[in-house]
């Protein structure tokens, strides 16, 4: 049985979050502007993926420097989205390992000097400042210590302030009791230590880490004591996006309607990724519009 629902939070509504990693299709840039010019209902766009590489000065967005001319239109459109009230964030890490190993520092570690952390962190900080991003999503898919991720979160909040959004992207099993996951640290301990600094968790309910074909996996997370407003249910927007676990929209709609009713503070949905989203791959904004309908949200 799922836990008893809590009272609705005043003014809270589910988030509609979409990652954006495939920026070009056959050499043509994929525009984000349809999210603004149509009633998409999107609340947050997360640009993927930033990598901290072996050379501290070689920060990359996917395989290229963020200032490569191929991204000029992206940064121009990011400002348009922000002017329209949509938050634009970046994702750090993901499947390509190394970023968090290089940023894993704590005062208790004698093998990693603070200067090493600074060398890798400062280019990331400067990138966020240069593009005026609203937040960062930490997708830790490699071993990292709990003191290390706490130190990174503390530094981000110190540098960018209270309103800067910090989220994490664990696989869904990381939020369940005693289940394997990818990050190395205990998310319950992280929430206890720095929950006030973490806006929410973009939990990946796909690729074998928990599914959304029914409510069972999300219910299990709730039984482990997580507040529903901090758990965003992540899904694939197309079966070709990143492995297994795609759930057809018709079934997603039914599952989301139950979750919204069962958990009045349901945190929302996350989609991987914007490009080529169903139900109409040539009009990817429709995915987020469908999500707002599934959750009974007001349209933009």
- Dist CA 249 CA 257 (whole Å): 12
Q: In 10 A of CB 292, how many CB atoms?
A: 22
Q: Where are the alpha helices (DSSP H) in 58-145?
A: 72-83, 99-102, 114-130
- Dist CA 77 CA 176 (whole Å): 38
Residue 126 CB-density burial (10 A; 0-12 exposed, 13-18 middle, 19+ buried)? exposed
Reduce the DSSP state of residue 272 to 3 states and report it.
strand
- In order of start, what are the domains of the chain with their CATH numbers? 15-294 (3.20.20.80)
Phi–psi pair at 15, nearest 5 degrees: -90, 150
> From first to last of its 300 residues, what are the pLDDT tens digits of the chain?
566 657 788 888 999 999 999 999 999 999 999 999 999 999 999 999 999 999 999 999 999 999 999 999 999 999 999 999 999 999 999 989 999 999 999 887 778 889 999 999 999 999 999 999 999 999 999 999 999 999 999 999 999 999 999 999 999 999 999 888 889 899 999 999 999 999 999 999 999 899 999 999 999 999 999 999 999 999 999 998 877 999 999 999 999 999 999 999 999 999 999 999 999 999 999 999 999 999 987 433
- Dist CA 92 CA 136 (whole Å): 7
Residue 88: the pLDDT is 98
pTM: 0.96
- Dist CA 137 CA 64 (whole Å): 19
Residue 300: the pLDDT is 34
């Amino acid at each position: 049985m799922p836990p008893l629902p809590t009272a609705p939070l005043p003014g809270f509504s589910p988030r509609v979050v979409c990652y954006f990693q495939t920026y070009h299709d056959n050499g043509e840039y994929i525009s984000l502007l349809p999210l603004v010019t149509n009633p998409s209902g999107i609340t947050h766009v997360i640009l993927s993926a930033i990598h901290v590489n072996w050379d501290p000065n070689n920060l990359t967005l996917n395989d290229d420097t963020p200032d490569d001319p191929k991204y000029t239109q992206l940064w121009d459109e990011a400002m348009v989205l922000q002017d329209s009230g949509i938050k634009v964030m970046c994702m750090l890490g993901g499947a390509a390992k190394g970023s968090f190993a290089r940023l894993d520092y704590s005062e208790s570690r004698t093998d990693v000097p603070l200067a090493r952390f600074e060398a890798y962190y400062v280019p990331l900080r400067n990138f966020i400042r240069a593009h005026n991003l609203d937040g960062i999503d930490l997708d830790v898919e490699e071993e990292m210590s709990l003191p290390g991720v706490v130190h990174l979160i503390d530094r981000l909040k110190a540098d960018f302030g209270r309103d800067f959004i910090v989220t994490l992207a664990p696989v869904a099993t990381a939020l369940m009791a005693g289940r394997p996951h990818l990050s190395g640290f205990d998310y319950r301990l992280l929430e206890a230590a720095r929950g006030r600094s973490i806006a929410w968790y973009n939990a990946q309910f796909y690729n074998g880490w928990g599914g959304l074909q029914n409510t069972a996996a999300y219910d299990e997370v709730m039984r482990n004591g997580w507040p529903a407003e901090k758990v965003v249910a992540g899904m694939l927007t197309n079966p070709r996006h990143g492995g297994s676990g795609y759930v057809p929209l018709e079934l997603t709609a039914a599952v989301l309607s139950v979750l919204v009713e069962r958990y009045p503070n349901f945190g929302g949905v996350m989609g991987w990724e914007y490009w080529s989203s169903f139900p109409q791959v040539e009009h990817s904004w429709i995915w987020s519009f469908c999500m707002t309908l599934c959750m009974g949200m007001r349209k933009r």
